[in-house]
Amino acid sequence: MQKNHLTALFFTVFVCFGAINAWASDPKKKGDTPDDRKSEVSAYVKHHNLDTHDFGLFSYTDDQGHHHSVGFPLPVILWSDGLHVFSSSALHHGEEVVASGDKFFKLDAHTYKIYETDAEGTFSYDDKHHVTNVAPLDFSITKSVFMIMVVSVLLFWIFSSLAKSYAQNRSIPKGVGRFFEPIVLYIRDDIAIPNIGEEKYQKYMPYLLTVFFFIWFLNLFGLTPLGINVTGNIAVTTALAIITFLLTNLTGTKDYWKHIFDPLGHGMPWAAKIPLYIILIPIEVLGIFIKPFSLLIRLYANMQAGHIVLGSLLGLIYIFQNWIAGPLGFGLSFAISLIELLVALLQAYIFTMLSALYFGFASESHDHAVEHDGEVQHL
């Protein structure tokens, strides 16, 4: 738990700075009325949760009212009748058009998406104020991709060095391994084995361990005030859920499929089963897709909601600007960030746990199926 304490400490310090920044920034330049500030905070929180093409560390508004962002650029990789690669600094946060090859690209500052434009960078909008320009295929190394890389390297470094320390140290963990080994064992003994079973859990272990630490680490990074929101991004959770879906169905045993397409088993004549199966089989088939879908929505919604709540509470300080809202907003956001610290772990646990449960369904052997049928009949 030492690490968590450290993380919490870091976070407290960051929140303090964030609060002071918000407190100190001069609101009179842009919006004087609370409504202006409200919409500004709302937009800020919304943008804070979006993926961006550069890595922004912080931003400020100078005395002249110019907005400055401090960070570092990341490579933009686009595919539109050929490959277009340039640094995200060329986009200037959507203020300038980038010419690459015979194409022109511009960033839409509201959605942080890159569109193809003409040389002047004009956007055309539909009646709902959505950009209708052609969007190139965007394979940029965005902030989220960058963080995925950072976390991947971090995980690889931590766990390969743990593995090495075992080889050198007669299988006794030391240092950071003392913290991580119980978690690895917990995932094996309390998530994988009870859900999947003693015989078959081993082939799912690499995925379960990786997905747990990957989600947990990214969730923790999401609690830093760097605007990292990888696990709160629908594309990331979709990718994770699809892997769970594929692993579940590709390793599904005969009994698993039988359970879906013949859930009532031998106990009933076919004539009686057919009318029931008209309803049951579509439900079971739908269930195959709903299970991973619930995984992706749960993780996405929890992390996204946490970020919005934290951002909004900090925004309260900025909106009300008085001596009550300041400490209150700070206190509440501190409390919420403590809860978020728990949620970060909890969501990683739930994703891993449910994945293991689905793998358990997929790899159930005949014995289990019989037991299960028995239960159903009792019910």
Partner 1 sequence: MEKLLGEFSVGLFFWQTLLFVALILLLKKFAWKPILDAVNEREQGIKDALDSAEQAKQEMANLQADNEKLLKEARAERDAMIKEARDIKNKMINDAKEEAKGEADKMVAQAQAAIESEKKAAIADLKNQVASLSLEIAEKVVRENLSSDDKQQKLVKNLLDDSSLN
Among 9, 83, 149, 285, binds partner 1 (CB under 8 A): 149
| Separation of alpha carbons 351 and 216, rounded Å | 10
Helices (H) and strands (E) in the chain, counts: 11, 8
Min dist CB 307 to partner 1, Å, is 13
| Separation of alpha carbons 283 and 143, rounded Å | 39
Is residue 172 close enough to count as binding partner 1 by CB under 8 A? Answer: yes
Is residue 142 close enough to count as binding partner 1 by CB under 8 A? Answer: yes
- Would you give the binding string for partner 1 spanning residues 228-267, x where CB under 8 A is met? -----xxxx-xxx-xx------------------------
Establish how many alpha carbons lie within 13 A of residue 331's alpha carbon, considering only the half-sphere containing its beta carbon.
Answer: 6
The amino acid present at 143, given as its one-letter code, is K
Which of these segments, 14-22, 65-73, 81-89, 198-206, binds partner 1 (CB under 8 A)?
198-206
Cα torsion angle, 283, 284, 289, 294, sign: positive
Q: Which residues between 51 and 110 bind partner 1 (CB under 8 A)?
A: 51, 77
Please give the backbone phi and psi of residue 226, each rounded to the nearest 5 degrees, phi first.
Answer: -90, 5
Is residue 209 close enough to count as binding partner 1 by CB under 8 A? Answer: yes
Is residue 139 close enough to count as binding partner 1 by CB under 8 A? Answer: yes
Is residue 185 close enough to count as binding partner 1 by CB under 8 A? Answer: yes
Pairing of strands 137-138, 103-108: unpaired
CB 240 within 8 A of CB 211: yes
Min dist CB 185 to partner 1, Å, is 7
Which of these segments, 37-45, 177-185, 268-276, 336-344, binds partner 1 (CB under 8 A)?
177-185
Query: What DSSP assignment string belongs to 123-180?
Result: --B-TTS-B-SPPPEE----HHHHHHHHHHHHHHHHHHHHHHHHHHTTT---TTHHHH
Which of these segments, 17-25, 119-127, 151-159, 322-330, binds partner 1 (CB under 8 A)?
151-159
> Which residues of the chain form contacts with partner 1 (CB under 8 A)?
50-51, 77, 111, 130, 137-142, 144-145, 148-149, 152, 155-156, 159-160, 162-164, 166-167, 171-172, 181, 184-185, 188, 202, 205-207, 209-210, 214, 233-236, 238-240, 242-243
